[in-house]
Structure formats: C-alpha cells, structure tokens
Amino acid sequence: DTGVSQNPRHKITKRGQNVTFRCDPISEHNRLYWYRQTLGQGPEFLTYFQNEAQLEKSRLLSDRFSAERPKGSFSTLEIQRTEQGDSAMYLCASSQEQGIVGWTGELFFGEGSRLTVL
Amino acid sequence: AQSVTQLDSQVPVFEEAPVELRCNYSSSVSVYLFWYVQYPNQGLQLLLKYLSGSTLVKGINGFEAEFNKSQTSFHLRKPSVHISDTAEYFCAVSRRLTGGGNKLTFGTGTQLKVEL
C-alpha cells in the first residue's frame, strides 16, 4: 500500500511526558500537512510543509508543539510536556505538486495517530 | 476568514432511501469546496470536490453535490443509500497556501447512520 502512513496509531502517555508522531507521505507528494481532530469536531489545520520548508503554522500550534520534515520526506510532530487537552487524533495528509495535472486541491489523509494523555 | 456549517450532527436513514447532508460555507475569496468521508478508525477519504465549472459535481460511491453560490451551500446527496454508507461526513472549504498548498477548514461533521 502506498498511502500515507502514520505511526504509532495509538499512544497513551502521562501528563508532562513528551510524545512524537511520524508521518510518511505518498512518495511523490512534496506537500505535507498536520491536522488535529478532537471528539465530535472536524479536523483543524496545524501546519504545512512544502518539501522541507514549513510554510504555515496555525495559532493552535503552541510552543510545546514542533514539526519537522528533514530532507522533505517523512515528517515528525513532537509534543512536549503533554497536557490532557492535547488528547486528540493527529492526522497527516499529503498532496501533489500542481504540474501538468493542474491544481486538484485533494489531500490524501493517513489513518491518524490517537493520543490519550492521562 | 472561512468557515463551514454542517447543521445536522446526525442523520438516520433507512437503506435504499435518499439522503441529503447539508453544508453551508462562508468565504471571502474564491471558493473551493470538498466533501470527505471518514469510516470508523480510518482516515478521511475524498468523496468529491468543486473547484470550478459545472455546479453539479459527481463523486465516488454514487454521491453528488451541488454548489449554490447564492445560497452559499454545497449539499451532499445520494438517491439510494446502502448500509456501507454509514460513516462521518465532513464538508470543507479550501484556501490556497503559499507554494500552492491547500488549507482545508472543516465543518463539525454529520454522522450518517443507515438502518435496515
């Protein structure tokens, strides 16, 4: 399967601990996104990379959150000093360069990493 | 600023009946609209999208949606639902980002429950 892959799928941690999530996008996609989804809500945009450059960050991304995409391939999302309010599903998505096809606007989502902070 | 309102949090419907899931949007710029479906414990899958052109958009699994600029709506319809359509449906409006990316603003979702 060559879809977007996220690991781990589930993470339970104690308040104050650090956690890291990994996302492997579809191989030819140069754009990568992180979203957060809490219970009963739609996904909310966190941040966006084009290749290795982080081009936009949401105000939701506090200074405890850091995302990287070294070499423009996989990405990591780290949350430091976790709080109970960080409990959510963290979704990664990727999309394709415009190229000859033209802008399609479609994002391809992974299955998400569910974080539970006790 | 952009926003999406999905008025119905849950829609129960019997199998083979028609269904409409409502979506209203607010956007001050060019409008690109999407419907995604999320099955339990899975990621989001694109059902259909409106970028330009014909206001009636057909998607996968027999779904279609109509873009109505005057009513700022993008309602999703299916003439005959199946048990397998039971899922959460999200409407989203898009803003293009620096470098050509796409920021989606989602509604709160509508849980479609198909019953026998």
Paired strand residues for B103: B95
In the structure encoding, which two tokens stand for residue A57, read together? 């960050």
Q: Strand, coil or helix: what is A82?
A: coil
Specify the pLDDT at position A101.
56
B104–A45 C-beta distance less than 8 A: yes
Give the integer Cα–Cα distance in Å for B99 and B10.
37
Token code pair at residue B7: 């008025």
Contact flag B97-A4 (C-beta cutoff 8 Å): no
What is the number of other CB atoms lying within 10 angstroms of the CB of residue A71?
Answer: 7
Q: What percent of chain B has pLDDT over 70?
A: 100
A4 in reach of chain B (CB within 8 A):
yes
Does the pLDDT at position B30 exceed 90? no
Question: Is residue A80's pLDDT more than 70?
Answer: yes
> Whole-number mean pLDDT of chain A?
91
Q: CB B103 to CB A48 under 8 A?
A: yes
Give the whole-angstrom CA distance, residue A76 versus residue A72.
Answer: 11
A12 touches chain B (CB under 8 A): no
Kindly state the percentage of chain A with pLDDT values over 90.
75
Identity at B114, one-letter amino acid code:
V
Nearest to B104 among A56, A103, A107 (CB): A107
Q: Model confidence at A99, in pLDDT bands (50, 70, 90)?
A: low
Question: What is d(CA B22, CA B32) in angstroms, rounded to the nearest whole number?
Answer: 16
What φ, ψ does residue B85 adopt, rounded to 5°?
-80, -5
Exposure of A47 in the CB half-sphere (CA atoms within 13 A)? 21
Query: Read out DSSP for B96-110?
Result: E-GGG-EEEEE---E
The residues on B that touch A, with CB distances below 8 Å, are: 4, 32, 34, 36, 41-46, 49, 51, 90, 92, 94, 96-109
CA distance B102 to chain A (A): 6
Chain-centroid distance, C-alpha B76: 6
User: What's the whole-number mean pLDDT along residues B21-36?
Assistant: 89
Tens of pLDDT, residue by residue over A5-38, are 999 999 999 999 999 999 999 988 889 999 999 9
